[in-house]
Structure 1
């Protein structure tokens, strides 16, 4: 266990201090180290618990120490407190012992400090919780920066606490099948064979009890892909027709691009991304799947006109604050600033403006984000419809088992009531033809 505790310390440090994404770093550790299934589950649980409760954990630490100068010792204390939070009713002496032994490896002079601070936190836990100031109650207990609490409360005053609580719950791995290579029945049988239970399904997307299918030949052969149903439903909302010229403007990491080509038959799909390394990922997907009607271009989505093409369908899954995917990327809120949303809103508007001018008459734009702030969603939709009176919003039909709420302009939230799906906002615009005025 000591080696795993040390790995957890290093992993958390890479995420918090190194700015790495938790899901990517977990995958890296799991492919580079020889953990068994139980160890992988333990590591994932501790990292997610730490990140989802970081402000609360730091409150407990700071009530017992004004500062911890050694960064990795602080990470060790954090993961030990997270381990305690998962097992508050059990004897904590084992957690303290493991932490002390790990501290001896990191910095032997800090082992006594680690022993003392953890015992103080665990023994005084109920008292420390009772002393949380009323003014900081939700921020500390739910581990959100106060400005996010304020923003969500302003945007969704009736249910903001339930929204914030829901995105601290467990995330689930989901696969979208390639209907040309495997049937639903075939996927269900494969899941049973690998002792992986299907917890929930949305059309061709299945949420799983464990990641076992990631290790199968069928996954590596492209019979199914990692994709959340929310982004899949954004693709479905386009209703691509045979012969369409389609643009996926912010395409990486390629899930939506692949879904378009496996669910529909456009004449041409152009997939773009601004980052060169992400373009290489898209090219690898194209090569692996032998997509002949796919063109990949490195391009800034604010400059769609440079592609010299008019499109029937455009998918804009724009850069956003990402609050709807906090179950999968809980660390995101600790680096996000309120000013970032203003900057993102400017980028979102520029991307939409660029797309509008490259859209054919009667063409469709899908505008989507993985966040739930009105500033990035409803307010933008209001701006777009006022600026472009030849655009009108169309109704999107969602599966009956997906909870949807709509704003006053007809945009749809895949909202917090969905246990499995990411939080997502989708609006569908159609450009009127001249004879419709």
Structure 2
């Protein structure tokens, strides 16, 4: 049966849960409905991500224009309203009458006949007052209204306000609603690859910018995985903040590297390219994620990269010590909400406490693999000190054999863009540890430790 984009988007929203992310469901649906073309897939992705990004805002608008409380509206009808209101407010190219009609038809397809008139009335009212509603939302600048204005849970706002000024927190919230392009890292082992990349850069209309910290990088909107240049292994998706780990680790020219929690393999593949004569060993607890690293390894033709399945919270006595160990631990992900909007609805203080235990366990085990004189990199894609600076400081108190290394004098941080990021407050140095706030790059944290002889 052929289904339209909005019907499939509704299926995705209805299937999401604490254990099932939109991205995973979306990928499965794209396989389930093979007749969808590129434009249709992009439409579905935009709809479900848009609802996830702005769910609190959409619910605020629906609540203000509904005769029923949200809890009284059937779940599928509420999600149809969210999809429709998102289109009315944030997708100008679609006529509003068409959005309303399709929303009503979708309610009928769901056999919610008692809700047809209600849906029609709510959507017509919102469509007729669109300009007024958008103006009202734009005026919700008071701190007490940030939850609605930026569609962000109050508990997380309060956590951020404990660490950052209101001005910085509002910037973080605003950035979380901005669509982020992919960052592509170039891999050019020979002249043919270099020529292909040059041709891609000159011809692609989807490139929207160059690298901020790195030269061999571009920003891209679209599904790059379908492009032949990606399939040939000349490009890898990886944010520049994440690239910093490989760049800094490679500076010491380690001969052996362990990358724990390595999926999807950005850091591992980066190091395998930077250190062709070194052995890079990537592990992940998930067989499915380890398979993803293998796919990237094969596509990029990296003979010096080995992959295995392992729980990073458990020590493997069979492993030899390595010159360098990367512990990019599971985290709250608050630095990448712009790309993964659902994260903000799943993270609370209880979840952070659980993550802290896992982070501490992984860091403890990672330290056991480091050779004397070797380095240990601890990194996350979040911006909370409990997961970052405080985690490292607690570790150092227990392990006097490790000490912090300065990374601020690396040439990458002496460039004009890095200095501007520091001036703007996006790049914060914390006793030789680096916290990047989500603005020019994704939010990220890096600490480099050395095991003393």
What TM-score results when the alignment is normalised by the length of structure 2? 0.85
Cα deviation digits, residues 160-201 of structure 1 (max 9, x gap): 111121122111122222232565664142243343324122
SS class of match (2:430): coil
Matched, 1:52 2:53: yes
- TM-aligned CA distance change 1:358 to 1:214, over 3 Å: closer
| Deviation (angstroms), 1:351 | 1.2
Aligned to 2:173: 164
**Alignment partners' CA distance in 1, 2:93 and 2:275:** 53
Contact 2:331/2:380, CA 8 A, preserved across alignment: yes
SS class of match (1:306): coil
Aligned to 2:392: 381
**Alignment partners' CA distance in 2, 1:153 and 1:251:** 31
Aligned to 1:281: 292
Aligned to 1:75: 79
**Alignment partners' CA distance in 2, 1:287 and 1:42:** 31
Contact 1:200/1:208, CA 8 A, preserved across alignment: no
- TM-aligned CA distance change 1:124 to 1:290, over 3 Å: closer
Structure 2 unaligned blocks of 5 or more: none
What are the equivalent positions in structure 2 for 1:58-137 lying under 5 Å apart?
58-63=59-64, 64=66, 65-66=68-69, 67-87=71-91, 92-107=96-111, 109=113, 110-123=115-128, 126=132, 129=136, 136-137=144-145
Aligned to 1:353: 364
SS class of match (1:376): coil
Contact 2:250/2:274, CA 8 A, preserved across alignment: no
Query: Which is further off, 235-244 or 142-151?
Result: 235-244
**Alignment partners' CA distance in 1, 2:72 and 2:20:** 22
Of 180, 184, 189, the match for 1:175:
184
SS class of match (1:324): coil
Query: Which is further off, 394-403 or 126-135?
Result: 126-135
| Deviation (angstroms), 1:59 | 2.1
**Alignment partners' CA distance in 1, 2:220 and 2:387:** 31
SS class of match (2:308): strand
Of 129, 141, 145, the match for 2:153:
145
What are the equivalent positions in structure 2 for 1:302-381 lying under 5 Å apart?
302-381=313-392
What TM-score results when the alignment is normalised by the length of structure 1? 0.88
| Deviation (angstroms), 1:377 | 0.8
Aligned to 1:428: 448
- TM-aligned CA distance change 1:164 to 1:134, over 3 Å: closer
- TM-aligned CA distance change 1:55 to 1:70, over 3 Å: same
Aligned to 2:207: 197
Structure 1 unaligned blocks of 5 or more: none
| Deviation (angstroms), 1:310 | 0.8
SS class of match (2:327): strand
Contact 1:369/1:426, CA 8 A, preserved across alignment: yes
- TM-aligned CA distance change 1:92 to 1:410, over 3 Å: same
The count of residues paired between Structure 1 and Structure 2 equals: 429
| Deviation (angstroms), 1:151 | 0.4
Contact 1:310/1:360, CA 8 A, preserved across alignment: yes
- TM-aligned CA distance change 1:87 to 1:224, over 3 Å: closer
| Deviation (angstroms), 1:303 | 2.4
Matched, 1:257 2:268: yes
- TM-aligned CA distance change 1:188 to 1:51, over 3 Å: farther
| Deviation (angstroms), 1:122 | 3.9
Query: Which is further off, 396-405 or 167-176?
Result: 396-405
| Deviation (angstroms), 1:220 | 1.5
Aligned to 2:243: 232
- TM-aligned CA distance change 1:162 to 1:430, over 3 Å: same
SS class of match (1:13): helix
**Alignment partners' CA distance in 2, 1:227 and 1:97:** 41
Contact 1:205/1:227, CA 8 A, preserved across alignment: no
- TM-aligned CA distance change 1:174 to 1:417, over 3 Å: closer
| Deviation (angstroms), 1:2 | 8.2
